[in-house]
Structure 1
């Protein structure tokens, strides 16, 4: 076991924070506090598909989706109007950063961190989960999936701030909960997930005024967390990590491939339009999509679907940029169980809808909160241009003024584990030693720890 560089770490995820935001971040006072005293990489390659739940699981495992098991935000449930999400820790294969921290007798806490529902190794857990069926309510599903007395306290103190899942109120609630947790629980490892920016980009566009205002709000939130650590005397003994999970791209057209599959008799519906059977199904990952066959050994359907996709790719107006096989998807870290994986062209994203038009032209009315379409998406390939995210770190165990030219999302987990003196086992990523105040090869200090 490696010697820990710190026993205290706060990981702050600003969902959908892009490398293209860096020039703005360096002008904001609290992001400056991190940048001036720490190190960073403004070129972090995300994963495929670049969705929030797979990304956040990669961050705390150091693995690609095919290896940690969270290959999409939502489950494959053809015909279900609102598919269930990958909410629960039990869906993750192998260990996580918080599991190993708990084994090392470190206190752990998580606020709206994805895929932490019913995670036994998180002592103070407010998981990201929402009522997805008419008979459910927010308080009950949260209490059953996290730490009941802890959530009850947070709701009693700060629940008035929330307005359902609306932003920025949800992140304001998370912020007050994070500050309170730091001051009253002093967790060794705190994971905090903010989604304000992601929401504004989805509904208003990547560089909309609403998105820019969300970044400014995030700067204030970051400052409150830093001040809370300073107030309780833990700032100098804590590693502070600020990161994004993926970027986003503007779009205004939804590719609804299941509409075409229905026309080709690959999907069967009843008189009410509800799916009752299927041979092939397009499962959206927003900027990309998996194509699944109900019978993986159905060679005839496989060839038929391939021919459909090849014909669509020829015409750019169909919105499909490329197609790869399931085996090729697996080599990129995605789900090898799919028959095909497709990538959207700029200006397009994929939707599960099987009714309506093959290409749905998105209007303002489509993207109002509660509607099912958006004006910006992620989920695209990491190979897309200007589609990187960022990683910033400061505090205990972090060298000052190191600029890492490039890194991968899979490298974050092993690097954070090394700082905490933990071992994630076999990972797809590697420790980025240049961030650390210790030479990982020779175990020599590089600076003041």
Structure 2
């Protein structure tokens, strides 16, 4: 298969929305891509539309129930900080970076989700210390490329303030620029989360979110400049994309509070979960309900009656209830008993004690990251919920496309590099390529 580009740089601006286009079109570095390459007006995301499943979809071309990353975090009932799908082994099947390596191409990933312990030449995975005894730098080193990360931390570690934004993205930017100029990889995948953070904490159209978009414009400019300085611009392709959009909300649904009251969840005197028959696992704007024993027909029936009664209540925060089979048909985890979609203005948490509906204040969002003022995870069928893609450079047509799907991105990126992801849910978007 003919390779269309020698260097593919994929920049993921987490939570970049199709609704951001009126801002992007007036920013100079985004203008460079929009005026000279392909612009996709709306990219249909996946279900649930949360970061880790989305990024696994981008590199596989498959829906979550096929690539295996069906949520950000693992099902660990009662754990206030469950572990995430950090590791490459969480993904079933091949990936864009695996196929690039098989083709003897060099690869780099900077805070790209689900790349812990991946076979990537220059890898700084997105993984954080999730236990009190863990050290952030050591956790990263152990799960990526140690020498590469030590080099980056030595040069740019002073920029970072833990996981705080915008300093984290500033560190990632300098690391990306350095990697492009010194390593010149054939595939670079970089993930920026500044905008996502600001939208969670302050709201979709907040001043803070708009400021993050402007910072992303400057970051994009620095990356374009680095490609020029590396002497590879004429043989490079740059893709800027979002993984999902977001919707404003200020009410959290805690279905586990009801499940606890009805003894589907049992806790000890300290409030720790010691047994569960049914559990609501949050995906932010949606949620899975799992039954511990899938043969427990009595529990399934009782939980179904409960969620149906809530669906009839306009103030329950629940807009739709899907069966496991219906969830699977949308690409989500078919092993759940039910999948819930939140109403506008609501999202799901996993609290077991307290209120069924908690109203979130700005003070709540500032004090605790689990409380947000805008989030994602909703169905891609929600109105005004598309994300965006733009690409420029070698192998890219100058065109505007009305829509593609997130599952189409991976096969298209593979075609640019002259490799294949095999039989995928998505297709190669030939309209954007100079095939």
Q: TM-score range by the shorter chain?
A: over 0.9
Q: How does 1:135-150 map to 2 (within 5 A)?
A: 135-150=133-148
Q: How does 1:113-132 map to 2 (within 5 A)?
A: 113-120=112-119, 122-132=120-130
d(CA) in 2 for partners of 1:363, 1:105: 52
8 Å CA contact 2:201, 2:369 repeated in 1: no
Could you say what secondary structure the match of 1:311 adopts? helix
Q: How does 1:16-415 map to 2 (within 5 A)?
A: 16-120=15-119, 122-368=120-366, 370-400=368-398, 402-415=399-412
Residue deviations 1:389-448 (CA, integer Å, cap 9, x gap)? 001010000011x1111110000001111111101011000011110011xxxxxxxxxx
8 Å CA contact 1:10, 1:190 repeated in 2: yes
Deviation at 1:364, TM superposition (A): 1.9
d(CA) in 2 for partners of 1:207, 1:369: 20
Deviation at 1:118, TM superposition (A): 0.2
d(CA) in 1 for partners of 2:277, 2:347: 23
Q: TM-score, normalised by structure 2?
A: 0.99
Aligned-pair Cα RMSD in Å: 0.7
| Long gaps (5+) in structure 1 | 439-449
| Structure 2 partner of 1:434 | 431
Could you say what secondary structure the match of 1:116 adopts? coil
Residue deviations 1:90-140 (CA, integer Å, cap 9, x gap)? 1100000000000000000000000000002x0000000000001101011
Deviation at 1:303, TM superposition (A): 0.6
| Structure 2 partner of 1:443 | none
Residue deviations 1:238-261 (CA, integer Å, cap 9, x gap)? 011110000000000000000000
Residue deviations 1:297-329 (CA, integer Å, cap 9, x gap)? 111100100000000011111100000000110
8 Å CA contact 1:203, 1:369 repeated in 2: no
d(CA) in 1 for partners of 2:126, 2:431: 33
Residue deviations 1:190-226 (CA, integer Å, cap 9, x gap)? 0000000000000000000000000000000000000
Could you say what secondary structure the match of 2:52 adopts? helix
Residue deviations 1:123-162 (CA, integer Å, cap 9, x gap)? 0000000000011010110010000010001001100000
Could you say what secondary structure the match of 2:281 adopts? strand
Could you say what secondary structure the match of 1:398 adopts? coil
8 Å CA contact 1:4, 1:421 repeated in 2: yes
8 Å CA contact 1:290, 1:339 repeated in 2: yes
Deviation at 1:233, TM superposition (A): 1.3
Deviation at 1:36, TM superposition (A): 1.1
Could you say what secondary structure the match of 1:35 adopts? helix
Deviation at 1:23, TM superposition (A): 1.0
8 Å CA contact 1:238, 1:396 repeated in 2: yes
d(CA) in 1 for partners of 2:368, 2:381: 31
d(CA) in 2 for partners of 1:245, 1:394: 18
Deviation at 1:365, TM superposition (A): 2.1
8 Å CA contact 2:202, 2:362 repeated in 1: no
8 Å CA contact 1:110, 1:126 repeated in 2: yes
d(CA) in 1 for partners of 2:116, 2:272: 30
d(CA) in 2 for partners of 1:79, 1:86: 17
| Structure 1 partner of 2:420 | 423
Could you say what secondary structure the match of 2:231 adopts? coil
Could you say what secondary structure the match of 2:401 adopts? coil
Deviation at 1:372, TM superposition (A): 2.2
Q: Which stretch shifts more, 316-325 or 363-372? A: 363-372
Deviation at 1:387, TM superposition (A): 0.1
Could you say what secondary structure the match of 1:142 adopts? helix
Could you say what secondary structure the match of 1:114 adopts? coil
d(CA) in 2 for partners of 1:378, 1:44: 15
d(CA) in 1 for partners of 2:230, 2:208: 33
Deviation at 1:375, TM superposition (A): 0.6
